[in-house]
């Protein structure tokens, strides 16, 4: 556990976010390795199938991601306020919500996979592989739900290293199993899915075991269901808007994917590859955003708004420096990276066209994520949801349909850029002029009492 209310803000932010960044690099490698292996050993249809699966899986965990974020913020705030009984109640309630929701979503996702892929206009030569991959992943999705829940709790407690250690081990295992099941055993796309499920199970087991041994007072058991009604309503109040927001992001990605699918298998495969590169490009900003949420939660619990403002400034400097470097790399050498997944000339051409256009948006997206980290850390969840509706559903998707009819796939890429620019502008304006600082009052009385002792 780490107290984020002391120490130089930049140093605390970097050292807290770095393990999360490395952890997310390894987490992204689950799907990325699947794509690389099936792209080279099975074909571009399998590569496209993995890409079709991603937005479906994203939607399936979106609401749970919102509850996890709420649990993370509540744990951080109560931990910063030294209210450890409340920390325990938040953990137990979060576990209960996660397990019930995971069981429901697993059943729905398994049986609804063919219908969802049909609605997405998945190319016929990709459909069977995508259904098979999705069903296997959904069967083992309890591991993914559980890992994300445990990691959210640990970040709230100031521990961002344990999830990293788990992911390093499980990612290396995933790579080995991918090669064994697909390249050696010839199981095709099913082998890639099984490898991912097994590896995610290992990451969940590691995080649970480590937390139990190092911090037994906050140990998590997936078989112990605790429930605090007031905590549940706090989680629901904070988590539902964020979950809806993530769900809208995933559903928006599914809709954009359906627009891309109208142009055939080659654009679908290229969009699958660029989605992986997108994830790496925006990852530094995402992790600084998550670190800022935990940092803001603890420091608001300690009533230290001055530290929050300084941390935001440092966070912007870090994310802009790293993101600009990545954007330049993808802008001028992105075609080399696409060839790691597929050597099909048309797939490479379409993917590189995407990167030359969308890399402009990475900077705007990074600024938006950084400001959003502070806003969410204050407990303000409604505005990020509304901004998602505006940038994706009012701007990006209508423009994707309109511009693609005139400019083809490049019109879709420009719609993505414009959507992020709108999202960045709205988020920055809300930070300076919005009502998010009302979250300061929640622990003000507690902070005053401690200072008077």
Average pLDDT over residues 125-131: 91
Give per-residue pLDDT as tens, 253-307.
899 999 999 999 999 999 989 988 888 888 888 888 888 888 887 887 777 888 8
Write out the two tokens for 417. 């850029």
Give per-residue pLDDT as tens, 374-384.
888 887 777 87
> What integer pLDDT is reported at residue 449 of this predicted model?
47
Nearest residue to 98 via CA among 219, 221, 246:
221
Confidence of residue 419 (pLDDT cuts 50, 70, 90): very high
**Gap between the Cα atoms of 16 and 101, Å rounded:** 29
Write out the two tokens for 72. 């993370």
- The interaxial angle of helices 345-358 and 265-301, nearest 10 deg, is 40
SS3 of 92-160: the string is HHHHHHHHHHHHHHHHHHHHHHHHHHHHCCCCHHHHHHHHHHHHHHHHCHHHHHHHHHHHHHHHHCCCC
Q: What is the dihedral of CA 119, 353, 362, 325, to 10 degrees?
A: 150
Task: Name 12's Cβ contacts closer than 8 Å, sequence gap at least 6.
Answer: 4, 6, 295, 311
Query: Does residue 43 sit in helix, strand or coil?
Result: coil
Write out the two tokens for 418. 């414009």
What is the rounded radius of gyration, in angstroms, for the C-alpha atoms of the chain? 21
Give per-residue pLDDT as tens, 421-444.
999 999 999 988 877 666 555 544
Q: What is the DSSP string of 65-83?
A: HHHHHHHHHHHHHHHHTT-
**Gap between the Cα atoms of 261 and 55, Å rounded:** 13
Q: What is the DSSP string of 226-259?
A: ---HHHHHHHHHHHHHHHHHHHHHHHHHHHHHHH
Question: If you count them, how many residues does the chain have?
Answer: 453
Q: What is the DSSP string of 354-393?
A: HHHHHTTHHHHHHHHHHHHHHHHHTT--HHHHHHHIIIII
Determine which of 9-13, 48-52, 60-64, 295-299 has the lowest per-residue pLDDT on average.
60-64
> What integer pLDDT is reported at residue 212 of this predicted model?
82
Average pLDDT over residues 50-79: 80
Q: What is the pTM of this model?
A: 0.75
355/61: higher pLDDT: 355
Give per-residue pLDDT as tens, 192-220.
999 989 988 988 888 888 878 877 777 77
Phi (first) and psi of residue 82, to 5 degrees: 65, 25
> What integer pLDDT is reported at residue 423 of this predicted model?
93
> What integer pLDDT is reported at residue 27 of this predicted model?
67
> What integer pLDDT is reported at residue 362 of this predicted model?
92
3-state helix, strand, coil in the chain (%, to 5): 85, 0, 15
> What is the number of alpha carbons within 13 Å of residue 184 lying toward its C-beta?
7
> Maximum distance among all alpha carbons in the chain?
70
280/347: higher pLDDT: 347
Query: What ranges do the domains of the chain cover?
Result: 9-452
Burial of 320 (0-12, 13-18, 19+ CB in 10 A): middle
**Gap between the Cα atoms of 270 and 275, Å rounded:** 9
Average pLDDT over residues 315-334: 91
DSSP state of 188: T
Nearest residue to 49 via CA among 196, 257, 244, 250:
257
What distances in angstroms separate CA 198 from CA 208, 407, 432, one per listed residue?
A: 16, 43, 45
**Gap between the Cα atoms of 184 and 405, Å rounded:** 43
> What integer pLDDT is reported at residue 451 of this predicted model?
46
What distances in angstroms separate CA 339 from CA 49, 70, 137, 333, 406, one per listed residue?
A: 18, 39, 26, 11, 28
């Amino acid at each position: 556990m780490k107290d984020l209310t002391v120490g130089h803000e930049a140093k605390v932010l970097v050292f807290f976010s770095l393990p999360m960044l490395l952890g997310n690099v390894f987490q992204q490698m689950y799907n990325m390795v699947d794509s690389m292996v099936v792209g080279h050993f099975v074909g571009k249809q399998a590569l496209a199938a993995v890409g079709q699966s991603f937005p479906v899986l994203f939607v399936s965990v979106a609401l749970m991601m919102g509850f996890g974020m709420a649990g993370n913020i509540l744990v951080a705030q109560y931990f910063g306020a030294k209210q450890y009984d409340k920390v325990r109640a938040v953990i137990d309630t979060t576990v209960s919500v996660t397990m019930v929701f995971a069981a429901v979503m697993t059943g729905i996702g398994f049986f609804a996979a063919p219908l969802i892929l049909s609605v997405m206009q998945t190319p016929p030569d990709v459909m069977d592989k995508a259904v098979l991959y999705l069903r296997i992943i959904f069967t083992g999705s309890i591991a993914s739900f559980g890992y994300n829940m445990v990691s959210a709790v640990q970040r709230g407690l100031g521990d961002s290293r344990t999830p990293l250690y788990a992911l390093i081990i499980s990612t290396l295992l995933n790579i080995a199993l991918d090669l064994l099941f697909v390249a050696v055993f010839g199981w095709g796309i099913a082998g890639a899915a099984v490898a991912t499920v097994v590896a995610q199970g290992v990451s969940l087991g590691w995080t649970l075991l480590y937390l139990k041994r190092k911090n037994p007072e906050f140990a998590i058991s997936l078989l112990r269901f605790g429930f605090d009604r007031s905590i549940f309503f706090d989680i629901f109040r904070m988590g539902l808007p964020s979950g809806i927001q993530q769900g809208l992001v995933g559903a928006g990605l599914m809709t954009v994917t359906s627009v891309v699918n109208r142009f055939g298998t080659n654009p679908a495969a290229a969009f699958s590859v660029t989605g992986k590169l997108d994830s790496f490009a925006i990852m530094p900003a995402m992790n600084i955003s998550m670190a800022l949420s935990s940092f803001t939660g603890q420091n608001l619990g300690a009533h230290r708004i001055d530290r929050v403002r300084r941390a935001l400034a440092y966070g912007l400097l870090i994310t802009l420096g790293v993101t600009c470097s990545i954007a330049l790399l993808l802008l001028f050498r992105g075609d080399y990276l696409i060839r790691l997944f597929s050597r099909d000339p048309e797939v490479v051409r379409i993917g590189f066209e995407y990167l030359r256009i969308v890399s402009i948006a990475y900077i705007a997206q990074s600024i938006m994520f950084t400001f959003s980290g502070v806003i969410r850390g204050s407990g303000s969840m409604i505005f990020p949801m509304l901004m998602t509706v505006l940038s994706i559903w009012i701007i990006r998707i209508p423009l994707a349909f309109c511009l693609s009819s005139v400019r083809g796939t490049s019109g879709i890429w420009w719609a993505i850029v414009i959507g992020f620019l709108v999202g960045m502008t709205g988020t920055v304006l809300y930070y300076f002029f919005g009502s998010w600082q009302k979250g300061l009052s929640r622990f003000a009385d507690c902070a005053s009492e401690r200072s008077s002792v």
